[in-house]
Structure 1
Amino acid sequence: MSTVLTSDMHAWARGLAQRIGRRVPPLAATRRRRLLLVHLDGVPKQLLDEAVHTRRMPFFSRLVRSGAYRLEEAFWGSPASTPCFQAGLLYGIEHPNLPAYSWFDREMGRQVRMNTPQDASDIEQRLGRTRCPRLFAEGGHTYFSLFRGGAGNRVCMSTLSSLGVLGRALSSEMEGLLAASTVSPGRYLRLLGRDSWHALCEAWCWGRALRDFRHEGGFLLSRVLLQRLGWSFAHTKALVDMVRGVPILYLVFGNYDEVAHRRGPRSELALAELERVDGYLAELYAMARTVERPYDLIFLTDHGHVESLPFEQRQGWRLEDMLLRGPSATLPESVRRGLLDGRVPGPAGASGPPEVPMVIESGNFAHVYLTRRRQPLEARELLADHRDVLARASLHPDIGMVALRRGDSAVALVKGEVYGAGEMERAPLAEEFSRRAVANYLHELPFMPTAGDLVLFGEAVRPGATVGFAWEFGSHGGLTRTETCSTVCWPGEGPVDLSGLTHCVNLHQRLSEAYLA
């Protein structure tokens, strides 16, 4: 421990623990071992590897280079987005039917967004029907996750749907908060004011340079409320919870992800968030090793980020306009034959009466809904009634791949040919794509009925960059190696081995075996 935790940090943690302990009562022990999970939302493994090598994150680098921790890649399944990952981690659900961060939900009959509290609450109720063991039952706490996952507190996106519940939750969360504060209220307000002013100036310069301010107001609010106030609150509450003896804690650090979407994954602003969080991680580790019953501290990421080049900026119009109102295109005969796969063509009108289509831009992938019915369209129906849309999607140079259902399975359209999950090794995909991830996505699509009739993925236009369909400059959810290669970092002397994980449900199972009473 001496190579990682300095005597000054140990003394700091011991003094703070004593101060908190005088203000808050301890909890009765309910589990043999205690766990703190820190989720670094959206941080690519390559960036963490570089941070270890260059010591850009001094504490995290020391932790890994000392040999105390193992840092390995993990694959969580498809799609590479937070809702799907948290459904697997918190609930142990292998096929949660969560196709993106925003989608048209066929069961509810409307578009849902995971940053809308009522939508998060509705999806949480659906996930809660599972009978899988829940890591955070029996008094665990989660902070700034999308879903509660059975935790004993209520600081997550779904909680915000009820002001009454939120008010009661926050009143109980204030216990011990002032005792754990590491800076005076006056100094904290001065720092917050300075950061807010810098954020305002930066947002003004960025929007003026692009001549587009459409997301700057929301981003500015996020930087002040979530990235500064929110994370500071979660970090401080975790220190209090460890002193009290909460059996399992889950903290989501969303700062990097928020900045990467708006400024790019390797922007100075995004990299500064990694440097910022490193100091917080050191404090969490110091407290985890200092309290009377130490915590095992595990770090993980849910997906990576790639640079995103907006389709609208490149083409001068939105994806929806191109797909639904663009020039006529002729579908290659090879695509028609591959989608029929020896079957008889379906009759016109097979998909039912015409409906208003919907295109949900989900980053560097997009869901195209050509009907609103409960069951998605299959290849023969698409050929019979929506051949123009199919042709435009499969032939556009900024669309690298189109996924759709064929019978009981799914296939991908790549450069005028049809490929099944077992044929991806010979598909002419750009080098940036992960063939393993593409095959996994095709296996998963039949389990996601609420995904689009077509799912489009932006072409990889240069190393580390893809076309994005949303107006953002860093994306995830696609099928590149960077997006689908996640990270898990755990103590070598801990009770669980987290190597070789191939789905987030594997993570749930191994942690449950090691930490559930």
Structure 2
Amino acid sequence: MCWRSAGSPPRASVSTVQDAPGTAPGPPSRSRLGWRLLRRRRLRSWTELRRLALSLLLSWLVLSVTIAVMPGVGATRRGDVLVAALLLGVLSAAFQPAVTALALVVGWAGVLLAGLFTEAILFYAALTLTPGITVDGFWSAFWASWVFSLLVTIATWLVTAGDDTAFLTHMLRQSRHARAAAAPTLVPGVIFLQVDGLSAPLLRWSIRSGDLPTMSRWVRSGSHTAAQWQVQLPSTTPASQAGVLHGRSAEIPAFRWYEKESGRLLVSNRPRDALVIQERLSDGHGLLADGGVSISNIFTGDAPTALLTMSAVTMPRAGRGPSRGYATFFINPYGLARSLVLSVGEMLKERHQGRRQRRRGVEPRIDRRGSYVALRAVTNVLLRDLNAGLIVEQMMAGTPSVYCDFTDYDEIAHHAGPTRPESLASLEGLDHLIGVLQTAAEQAPRPYELVVLSDHGQSQGATFRQRYGHTLEELVRDLVAGRGTTVAAATDVAETAGPANTLLSQVGQQGGATGKVVRRALRGRSVGDEVHLEGRSADGPDLLGPATGQSDADVVVIASGNLAMIYFTGFAGRMTQEEIDTAYPGLVTSLVAHPGVGFVVVRTVRHGLVVLGDGGTHYLDEDRVTGRDPLGPFGERAPAEVRRHAGLANVGDLVVNSPVYPGTGEVAAYEELVGNHGGLGGWQTEGVLLHPSAWTADCPLVGADAVHRQLVRWLSALGHRSGLAEAVMPPPRGGRAG
């Protein structure tokens, strides 16, 4: 079924622009960039003059408070503070561009040091040069400068009611150099904004309620059409991005999987593994191959420029140092201090919201303490601001296409639930940011169209462990006990550390002192880069210990939301049920009978691929059902999805999916996440594609590969990809048929 939003009817097709397609200019050299940054800024209008006057007034008031509360800094008259505030503004305008240019030459070390000390040095200079101001040394000025920046950020947030427009306006000013260097063209560029985890039913309701003003306005005005696409099994970000960006979703059977040939566990959002997978996906004709830019994704889409992209951080070209977008964000006190203040606020808000859930007895819920509190601040504030700045920079440079993944909503929905107030508030924040980016695009040297899409939805439910008192790994270990069998598991919530992984890994891969410090702090790897297969003997508590992607265990259990796969490592190829029953008698039967298992997929010698459920069997290869159909609760497409998934390479010997629980329509994750995705059941397979109404879309869109083909057709109709030869896709690697 293909859902489309109400509104003006879409026109027949994409209108192809007649102008010759322009190509995005290459990045300027460091010396040229430094020279441009050194040019003096000019007052362009009375509006900007008024803005500067208001900024000076705010700085004066905040500086007065700072001097009053900070030891080691004093002033005799209020007029002296005003002079100091004015001088600080002049020094910042005159010297910060030079500092940015110098930091770009030095690399990440220069950027991080400049981010820490530039404001303090200018602050110290302004106070020292102002008559009537006393400063007891540089370090007094250093701490006072950070207090000043934080107070300015808080005051600005209060004055603007938390509006991000001021921040984006600042980014526009910082991107003037890119705008001046770009060649104007009438060929529209496209900004693809992935709202990670947004389901079509939730978007549909939010548009009707008006809780997402920007996207609701698009649909109600008829400028955009909201369509739904069917997410195929597995419903995970890596599989969907492999499909949307490369047209190769069949290369990924789950969020993580075990490869028997190499004895290695691959986790798709770990840098080393992502690079391995990227090499399998790339044919040089990805969605962004024609001069596009990948921002905060797992894979590059063959983009020439990849920023904060997991599969690119370990590539040799990643050591060239930070871009100007990174430098602008870290060096400018407004951007960095603003993000730090809002990050602290986000952590406090998370602690309050988590306690509120516990106090009210909200069910289902999970523990929301620990590292997640900091990770929420990173994804919902720091990376959102950084991503926005990088997108604006690329638009001002006239980049043909940009694809950026915003993980804010998905991160919070995993821990709070996909329809909980804090999750919806994050979605509203993203909607506001999308509106600001649309406004920023009006200043770009080319017109831009915005496309909003999701990689999957999310389903909700109490976890398997919460419902039954044990994990799937523990269940399997109990079922194979008595044979000296060792069981290893990869069921942790590695997905949530992915964005932080990418940023730290990118810095750690740089040469020089900064990279060495980061690598040493992380012990030579990115956060979570070492895969811990926690293995235990089925007959005792002996810990096998961590392994870097390798396992000597006899059984490996992995989880991706409410989808799990079980591998028997001592047997080559994909085992049949008869072989499993011989090696582990009663295992399959006991799994099928467990109330936390909706169905089990396995191959048989006599009947081929079968789906086993407690009360019936679906013989997929024979197209018949005996008893109660185990796939019945999962919709009419479930048989086709299970059959397709079973044919992918490196699928487990057993594939396990949780039930859909009657009454609530919830599922049970095999990870400790209340909002989850990966398997079948609930909203997790209902993706979103919000596109200009003048662009026609195929209906239905089944699978991420179909979305990729649709996006490529749109780009081609706009005048993109003319220099790319027709892609020849090698067939996906299939699994053992029998």
Cross-structure match for 1:366: 564
Cα distance per residue 1:147-169 (max 9 Å; x no partner): 1222212321223447x865635
Q: Is the 8 A contact 2:258 2:264 kept in 1?
A: yes
Cross-structure match for 1:119: 273
> Within 2, Cα distance between the matches of 1:273 and 1:481?
21
TM-aligned CA distance change 1:453 to 1:419, over 3 Å = same
Cross-structure match for 1:241: 394
Q: Is the 8 A contact 1:375 1:449 kept in 2?
A: no
Which amino acid is 2:456 matched to? H
> Within 2, Cα distance between the matches of 1:218 and 1:404?
37
Residue 198 of structure 1, CA deviation = 2.6
Which among 349, 353, 358 is matched to residue 198 of structure 1?
349
TM-aligned CA distance change 1:290 to 1:12, over 3 Å = farther
Q: Is the 8 A contact 1:34 1:248 kept in 2?
A: yes
Cross-structure match for 2:297: 145
What pairs up with 1:411-490 in 2 under 5 angstroms?
Answer: 411-421=610-620, 422-423=623-624, 428-429=629-630, 432-446=633-647, 448-462=648-662, 463-490=664-691
Residue 263 of structure 1, CA deviation = 1.7
> Within 2, Cα distance between the matches of 1:416 and 1:280?
49
Cross-structure match for 2:490: none
> Within 2, Cα distance between the matches of 1:172 and 1:244?
12
Which amino acid is 1:466 matched to? V
Cross-structure match for 1:60: 215
Residue 139 of structure 1, CA deviation = 2.3
Cα distance per residue 1:237-285 (max 9 Å; x no partner): 1112111111110111111111121121122221111111111011122
Cα distance per residue 1:421-471 (max 9 Å; x no partner): 44479853476522303422222312x231211111111124331122111
Residue 41 of structure 1, CA deviation = 0.9
Confirm or deny that 1:294 pairs with 2:447.
yes
Residue 36 of structure 1, CA deviation = 0.9
Residue 187 of structure 1, CA deviation = 4.2
Cross-structure match for 2:708: 508
Which among 247, 260, 265 is matched to residue 413 of structure 2?
260
Q: What secondary structure sits across from 1:274 in the alignment?
A: helix
Gaps of 5+ in 1: 329-353
TM-aligned CA distance change 1:21 to 1:400, over 3 Å = closer
Gaps of 5+ in 2: 1-6, 9-162, 482-551, 716-720, 723-738
Q: Is the 8 A contact 1:299 1:490 kept in 2?
A: yes
> Within 2, Cα distance between the matches of 1:213 and 1:417?
33
> Within 2, Cα distance between the matches of 1:102 and 1:292?
42
Cross-structure match for 1:344: none
What pairs up with 1:149-164 in 2 under 5 angstroms?
Answer: 149-151=301-303, 152-161=305-314
TM-aligned CA distance change 1:300 to 1:169, over 3 Å = farther
Relative to structure 2, which stretch is displaced further, 456-465 or 198-207? 198-207
Q: Is the 8 A contact 1:242 1:288 kept in 2?
A: yes
Q: Is the 8 A contact 1:403 1:442 kept in 2?
A: no
Which amino acid is 2:276 matched to? D
> Within 1, Cα distance between the matches of 2:337 and 2:270?
33
Q: Is the 8 A contact 2:329 2:335 kept in 1?
A: no
Confirm or deny that 1:81 pairs with 2:236.
yes
Residue 174 of structure 1, CA deviation = 2.7
What pairs up with 1:35-54 in 2 under 5 angstroms?
Answer: 35-54=190-209
TM-score normalised by length of structure 2: 0.59
> Within 2, Cα distance between the matches of 1:457 and 1:485?
17
Cα distance per residue 1:81-113 (max 9 Å; x no partner): 1111111111111521x1211222334422222
> Within 1, Cα distance between the matches of 2:167 and 2:201?
31
> Within 2, Cα distance between the matches of 1:435 and 1:386?
33
Q: What secondary structure sits across from 2:415 in the alignment?
A: helix
Cα distance per residue 1:343-376 (max 9 Å; x no partner): xxxxxxxxxxx96211112211111112255522
RMSD of aligned residue pairs (Cα, Å): 3.5
Residue 202 of structure 1, CA deviation = 4.6
Q: Is the 8 A contact 1:82 1:302 kept in 2?
A: yes
Cα distance per residue 1:156-209 (max 9 Å; x no partner): 1223447x8656353454366589x99665444432332233334555777999
Which amino acid is 2:430 matched to? V
Cross-structure match for 1:382: 580
Which amino acid is 2:273 matched to? D
Residue 137 of structure 1, CA deviation = 1.6
TM-aligned CA distance change 1:221 to 1:409, over 3 Å = farther
Cα distance per residue 1:300-341 (max 9 Å; x no partner): 11111111211111211121222331499xxxxxxxxxxxxx
> Within 2, Cα distance between the matches of 1:182 and 1:29?
31
TM-aligned CA distance change 1:431 to 1:264, over 3 Å = farther
Larger Rg: 2
Q: What secondary structure sits across from 1:99 in the alignment?
A: coil
Relative to structure 2, which stretch is displaced further, 98-107 or 424-433? 424-433
Relative to structure 2, which stretch is displaced further, 212-221 or 57-66? 212-221
Q: What secondary structure sits across from 1:309 in the alignment?
A: coil
> Within 2, Cα distance between the matches of 1:377 and 1:55?
51
> Within 1, Cα distance between the matches of 2:474 and 2:330?
53
> Which one has more relative contact order, counting CA pairs under 8 Å at least 6 apart?
1
Residue 380 of structure 1, CA deviation = 2.9
> Within 2, Cα distance between the matches of 1:414 and 1:34?
49
> Within 1, Cα distance between the matches of 2:404 and 2:626?
38
> Within 2, Cα distance between the matches of 1:472 and 1:84?
19
Cross-structure match for 1:343: none
Cross-structure match for 1:313: 466
TM-aligned CA distance change 1:159 to 1:424, over 3 Å = farther
Q: Is the 8 A contact 1:400 1:458 kept in 2?
A: yes
> Within 2, Cα distance between the matches of 1:292 and 1:12?
21
Confirm or deny that 1:400 pairs with 2:601.
no
Which among 360, 364, 379 is matched to residue 226 of structure 1?
379
> Within 2, Cα distance between the matches of 1:372 and 1:284?
53
Which amino acid is 2:678 matched to? G
> Within 1, Cα distance between the matches of 2:335 and 2:277?
39
Relative to structure 2, which stretch is displaced further, 365-374 or 181-190? 181-190
Relative to structure 2, which stretch is displaced further, 44-53 or 32-41? 32-41
